[in-house]
Structure 1
């Protein structure tokens, strides 16, 4: 089925919004919530197993020689973004509630996307091999760096506490499945590549389950009473400003360090995006179910806006190249 091109929203985002509405109207309670948590644990492991099985280190190494480009992207993703998040502290509590500000900080710790970064780079006429390596390495690093950064950024808030138990959970639910996926790549890599649609649905279905359980827990705990329409509109404005700043900084860095046009496009699209598919499962591991819904809301908003804005930018860059 082809998604109608006239609709201004990505179909996956539409499914996410529908899942939020479902969780609001019919939240999981009692025994159903317990079963859902078990299913969520398995789904998170599946997500990272598929991430590990998809990434092809040998193919990605074709773009590894552009080390200056990769340094810029990694610094933007894991240093500049967190610094911007910390600089936004004066926004609380008048502009953003403490919970939404925590979500903004977590958003700043999430790795770049893989598929969309590469796709937008290709549309814009950018350096695709470099985008493959940069986006893949960002996610490889994010498996370790995102939990560590999230813990450091949110430690004072109490939302994330990297205890010995939490470290064990991260290892079992994120690192071990990811490593198993990498080890299984020689055996199942061909099948994964041939059935990208099926594995994509499995990936997205796992994320939808995480979202449903997160928002169900929030509804049961009554946390959504804290998010008024005005607060939501303010959050959207703040997220738009963050994306505009990220795009401006990556574009400026590309010109400042005298990269050619193809490399500037790669820096722009790999350095400014944040991965919902990776960020949500990591958040589900680190954060209690009652706090998870509000924590991931900024990331969900950012993801939809970045898709719309970066798709338009990629088409413009591609038209100029032609």
Structure 2
């Protein structure tokens, strides 16, 4: 029993790390706060650039070119990410603001306008035996489009609630933080690809470590500013339940729609895993740019943190089912 628990925690160390980061923020917020002993606000900025530099090295131009021609799949995935999800906020946003604190409701707004993931979307598509070139192209395209579309949608939706920002400056800041290192990494790919592949065990964990530090920093700032003082555990439970419901509704709506518009099985899989995902890796640094050092940042990030864990867990189950069906194994 103990061995099984240790194996589980070793496998799910990232989830445990996020819980630990939040716990440490509650106990020693002065260490993790912006300008604190560790100066995490500056350290994580460099870490974010490193993450996307490594993504740039890892992106295969050949695989992206192979996925370009399937325009029907691309329109479907990007439409789900940047049209269908934001519509959920327009429909249900007023209700969210009634049943939860304003900052948390805006966190769901932020979740709905984020781009898709890259690594986990492609990984799940691969496990499920879907259209991998299409997944690489769509996940990469979503990240690039999100640099512009996400700030614009934030201004459109949150601007109604008094949240103001310089959209052009925000887009430039996000592009500098995320896109520029990725382009540099892509240019240096011929030289550094071999080194990256040799040290996969290390490089694949860097993004998770940086995210943990950002979470520690964001929640420390929130604790120092007293944001969580009147925050009930029932609200946390509500956030988790909503994250689960949103994911299940979107995944199975995408699945049903893809089948009924005639997608082949491989394209359906890609649509499901690229269209339903939301990025934590890009979402956290983008939030730092968009919302700055706002004490609300921890609460704004809570929905995407919950959603990320739920999507990984459920999509892993779904990918396994797709793989079993392909292999002719009965799905129980």
TM-score, with length taken from structure 2: 0.88
1:9 offset after TM fit, Å? 7.9
Worse-superposed segment, 285-294 or 144-153: 144-153
Cα deviations by residue, 1:273-303 (Å, 9 ceiling, x for unpaired): 1111111111111113212111110000001
Which structure 2 residues correspond to residues 206-221 of structure 1 after superposition, within 5 A?
206-221=210-225
Residue aligned with 1:92, SS: helix
**Which residue number corresponds to residue 104 of structure 2?**
100
Paired residue for 1:199, among 203, 223, 226? 203
Which sections of structure 2, spanning at least 5 residues, go unmatched?
Answer: 328-332
**Which residue number corresponds to residue 14 of structure 1?**
16
Paired residue for 2:173, among 158, 166, 169? 169
Q: Is the 8 A contact 2:219 2:298 kept in 1?
A: yes
Q: Is the 8 A contact 2:130 2:266 kept in 1?
A: yes
Residue aligned with 1:223, SS: coil
Which structure 2 residues correspond to residues 36-55 of structure 1 after superposition, within 5 A?
36-55=40-59
Paired residue for 1:227, among 213, 231, 243? 231
Worse-superposed segment, 83-92 or 303-312: 83-92
TM-score, with length taken from structure 1: 0.91
Q: Distance in 2 between matches of 1:253 and 1:231?
A: 32
1:120 offset after TM fit, Å? 1.6
1:29 offset after TM fit, Å? 4.8
CA RMSD of the aligned region, Å? 2.3
Shift in CA distance, 260/170, structure 1 to aligned 2, threshold 3 Å: closer
Q: Distance in 2 between matches of 1:161 and 1:34?
A: 28
1:53 offset after TM fit, Å? 2.6
Q: Is the 8 A contact 1:9 1:304 kept in 2?
A: no
1:26 offset after TM fit, Å? 0.8
Whether 1:264 and 2:296 are equivalent positions in the alignment is no
How many pairs are equivalent? 321
Q: Distance in 1 between matches of 2:156 and 2:11?
A: 34
**Which residue number corresponds to residue 25 of structure 1?**
27
Q: Distance in 2 between matches of 1:259 and 1:4?
A: 42
Q: Distance in 2 between matches of 1:26 and 1:226?
A: 19
Paired residue for 2:314, among 305, 309, 312? 309
**Which residue number corresponds to residue 323 of structure 2?**
318
Which structure 2 residues correspond to residues 34-183 of structure 1 after superposition, within 5 A?
35-159=39-163, 161-162=165-166, 165-183=169-187
